[in-house]
Amino acid sequence: MPGTATKVIVTGGAGYIGSHTVVELFHAGYEPIIVDNFVNAEKSSIKGIETILGAKVKLYEGDSGNKEFMERVIAQERGISGIIHFAAYKAVGESVNQPLKYYRNNLDSLLTLMELMKEHHIPHIVFSSSCTVYGQPDTLPVTEKSPKKPAESPYGNTKQICEEILEDTVNSGVPIKVIALRYFNPIGAHPSAEIGELPLGVPNNLVPFVTQTAAGIREKLTVFGDDYDTHDGTCLRDYIHVVDLAKAHVSALQYLGSKSEENSYDVFNIGTGQGSTVLDVINTFEEVNNIKLNYSIGARRAGDVEKVYADVSHANVELRWKTELSLADALKDAWKWQLSLKKN
């Protein structure tokens, strides 16, 4: 649809989830416009996106919290219909040591976008929230109605505050439609291995640590505790393939476009609905990639949630979205991505 595609600003579109979402938006006929300041991304991700698409994508390099800069983007790109807002800092541990950096970036960028949406009549926004808002839930699986728990970190708190900013703005009567997607644990990479996650330094998250250990970059993986109340004693999470997660954003925009109200706030869990333990992940990784992983059981990690997985029926029904890829697919694609990095 050259020239007629619906324009969507994707803040943080060069990052891990954003880059995969840009690809899916393009495939669905949208025109994604990336805004990224590359604080946690490499220019190579834009090249990867363009290789997959066989087309150029629009990129504005700058801070999505900078109002003057964003005014220029909006003026240049007339007729923006929506925003998908990924841009944020996301390292939990760093947020404990540098809370102001996290509050400044994660809150400023949302506040700026909300003001601009109001002033320029941009009707739709999809926001990246997290299952971290549930903490350790009292009952499983968690639904969107499960209570939020006090945040364990400044990072988690920014997600809770951002959800409140969005909801309060809708409640004040501003004519915008908002969706907050609460992601469970995104893993994997695009099957082409052109884009994926680029963790800086030693990864905190499980799957990048697994692939780096398999690649010989890390000597050994430590499993953080095996005395939890799960089938094998290790923590349980809902791991979702990043491509499935990316597609949820397309479904969210389509849902907003089809809603007749001009003012609404919806929240959706985005996971698989299945829980997998750390040992399930390790065993599946070894099996599908035919690799032996060097790992041992260690102490629990402070602050870890024992088990959490999503009830995704709300997204299945309302967004008409469901996952198509398995844990095995995600771990195969994560490994393929790791191998592609080694070559570069």
- Taking each continuous run of H as one helix and of E as one strand, the counts in the chain are 11, 13
Pairing of strands 239-241, 185-187: parallel
Instruction: Report the partner that residue 235 touches, choosing among ligand UD1, ligand NAD, none (CB closer than 5 to 8 A by kind).
Output: ligand UD1
Rg of the chain over Cα atoms, rounded to whole angstroms, equals: 19
d(CA 191, CA 83): 26
Q: Hey, is 344 helix, strand or coil?
A: coil
Per-position x/- string for 114-153, each x denoting binding to ligand NAD as judged by CB under 6 A, each - no binding: --------------x-x-----------------------
Toward ligand UD1, which CB reaches closer, 166 or 278? 278
Instruction: Report the partner that residue 211 touches, choosing among ligand UD1, ligand NAD, none (CB closer than 5 to 8 A by kind).
Output: none
Decide if 155 is catalytic.
yes
Instruction: Report the partner that residue 22 touches, choosing among ligand NAD, ligand UD1, none (CB closer than 5 to 8 A by kind).
Output: none
Query: Judged by CB under 6 A, which of 30, 60, 134, 183 binds ligand NAD?
Result: 183
Cβ proximity of 95 and 206 under 8 Å: no
Q: How far is the CB of 227 from ligand NAD (least distance, A)?
A: 25
Does 268 engage in binding with ligand NAD (CB under 6 A)? no
Does 17 engage in binding with ligand UD1 (CB under 6 A)? no
Does 209 engage in binding with ligand UD1 (CB under 6 A)? yes
Cβ proximity of 156 and 207 under 8 Å: no
d(CA 180, CA 124): 11
- Identified catalytic residue from 30, 155, 239, 309: 155
Smallest Cα–Cα separation from 279: which of 300, 297, 303?
Answer: 297
d(CA 161, CA 150): 11
d(CA 13, CA 45): 9
Contact residues for ligand NAD, defined by CB under 6 A: 11-12, 14-18, 35-41, 63-65, 86-88, 90, 105, 109, 128, 130, 183, 186
For the annotated catalytic residues, the residue numbers are 155
Contact residues for ligand UD1, defined by CB under 6 A: 92, 130, 132, 156, 185, 204-206, 209, 221-224, 235, 237, 278, 301, 303-304
